[in-house]
């Protein structure tokens, strides 16, 4: 009886569980012996997610320009973002960044070029254009450091004072853990930064991507994910190459960018949308695959993936849920990681995976209305 009274873990667990539930405090419960592998793995996962939430609470986001014109999904309630996730999202004049960029010295650019050449294959004779991207990256790094900013968004519709759309500069910054969102998409740059923080120390790649175009060969459907320039270099399966090629949007000079084929393996695709009265996270299971044939005329980096359980249900489910064309893809994180993040932050979560059926899509459609 004395042993029982002095070792009441089962009693204390339930008391503490009630207190947290009564106080409406989001929490995780792990049952088992503390040296068992499943308990250790659960604690490790909780630490990764908690670390990302703590990072999120002090994340500062810079927007150079507003969300892209005529586009709804990239917009959102920035005040609510700060209340709910801690993201301090503010607008900064592009001209102020341009002043910093214009004051970058040639010696600083020389050092950045040396860094580029140590990591990437230089496949262009237009060195001037590559140096311009180096200038942008140095200026951005100074701005981000001085303002303690961990994520930023730009838009090709607001490039006043720049000769190129930032491409190579952004791709290299992504690899250093800086979140990025194109077209003014502040939600995705913040989410990318948070999920990159969550995946630190794990094997695999995590970063921003855009749903780009489909291969609709029946029964073999694939999706090519890319963007105009800014695919994170962390997705590279081979040594990235620096190219300078035309860009038919933005009205600026030909920008330097990194071109590569993407990694393979199971992964997740995650996005966040503002539903008007609440935020929604959509998480889909995908398989990143090798491109079926070379794409020498596509002048951007790319990854390809297969939707689960299949293209039809995966794509229809994403669209029914209101999923954005900007997302974060990760081969380091799992759906369980995202579910824990959603639970601890009180965010609605919709998942699409092997178990998803047409009936689930019908139920989701009815939920919308």
Look at residue 4 and tell me if it is in a domain: no
Please give the helix or strand (H or E) that residue 91 lies within, else none: strand 88-91
Please state, in angstroms and as integers, the Cα–Cα distance from residue 104 to each residue in 97, 166, 238, 320, following that order.
11, 15, 31, 47
pLDDT, tens digit, 9 for 90 and up, residues 297-351: 888 998 999 999 999 999 999 999 999 999 999 999 999 999 999 999 999 999 9
Residues of the chain with pLDDT under 70: 368-369
Identify the pLDDT of residue 7: 79
First to last CA, the chain: 58
Question: Can you give the residue range of the structural domain that contains 227?
Answer: 34-368
Look at residue 320 and tell me if it is in a domain: yes
Identify the pLDDT of residue 272: 97
Identify the pLDDT of residue 11: 85
Alpha-carbon distance of 35 to 41, in angstroms, equals 10
pLDDT, tens digit, 9 for 90 and up, residues 79-115: 999 999 999 999 999 999 999 999 999 999 999 999 9
Q: What's the pTM value of the predicted model, to 2 decimals? A: 0.93
- Counted domains in the chain: 1
CA torsion through residues 158, 163, 165, 171, sign: negative
Look at residue 194 and tell me if it is in a domain: yes
Look at residue 316 and tell me if it is in a domain: yes
Look at residue 355 and tell me if it is in a domain: yes
Look at residue 140 and tell me if it is in a domain: yes
Pair of tokens at residue 348: 């609605």
Look at residue 26 and tell me if it is in a domain: no
pLDDT, tens digit, 9 for 90 and up, residues 338-348: 999 999 999 99
Identify the pLDDT of residue 369: 57
Look at residue 192 and tell me if it is in a domain: yes
Q: 183-197 burial, b if ≥16 CB within 10 A, otherwise e? A: bbbbbbbbbbbbbbb
Identify the pLDDT of residue 351: 97
């Amino acid at each position: 009886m004395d042993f029982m009274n002095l070792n009441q873990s089962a009693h204390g667990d339930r008391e503490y569980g009630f207190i947290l539930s009564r106080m409406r405090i989001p929490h995780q419960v792990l049952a088992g012996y503390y040296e068992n592998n499943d308990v250790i793995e659960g604690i490790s996962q909780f630490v990764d997610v908690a670390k990302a939430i703590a990072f999120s609470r002090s994340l500062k986001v810079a927007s150079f320009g507003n969300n892209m014109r005529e586009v709804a999904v990239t917009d959102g309630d920035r005040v609510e973002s700060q209340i709910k996730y801690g993201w301090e999202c503010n607008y900064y004049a592009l001209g102020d960044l341009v002043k910093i960029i214009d004051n970058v010295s040639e010696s600083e650019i020389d050092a950045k070029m040396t860094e580029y050449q140590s990591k990437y294959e230089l496949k262009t004779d237009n060195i001037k254009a590559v140096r311009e991207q180096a200038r942008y990256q140095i200026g951005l790094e100074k701005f981000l450091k001085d303002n303690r900013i961990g994520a930023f968004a730009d838009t090709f519709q607001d490039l006043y004072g720049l000769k190129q759309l930032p491409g190579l500069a952004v791709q290299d910054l992504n690899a250093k853990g800086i979140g990025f969102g194109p077209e003014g998409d502040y939600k995705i740059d913040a989410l990318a930064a948070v999920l990159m923080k969550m995946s630190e120390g794990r094997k695999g790649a995590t970063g921003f991507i855009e749903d780009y175009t489909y291969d609709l060969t029946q029964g073999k459907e694939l999706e090519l994910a890319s963007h105009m320039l800014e695919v994170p270099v962390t997705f590279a399966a081979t040594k990235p190459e620096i190219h300078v090629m035309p860009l038919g949007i933005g009205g600026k000079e030909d920008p330097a960018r990194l071109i590569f084929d993407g990694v393979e393996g199971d992964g997740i695709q995650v996005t966040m949308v503002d539903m008007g009265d609440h935020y929604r996270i959509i998480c889909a299971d995908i398989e990143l695959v090798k491109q079926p044939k070379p794409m020498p005329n596509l002048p951007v980096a790319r990854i390809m993936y297969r939707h689960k359980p299949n293209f039809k249900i995966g794509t229809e489910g994403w669209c029914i849920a209101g999923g954005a064309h900007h997302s974060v893809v990760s081969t380091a994180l799992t759906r369980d990681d995202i579910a824990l993040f959603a639970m601890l932050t009180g965010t609605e979560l919709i998942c699409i995976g092997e178990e998803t059926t047409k009936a689930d899509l019908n139920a989701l459609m009815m939920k919308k209305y």
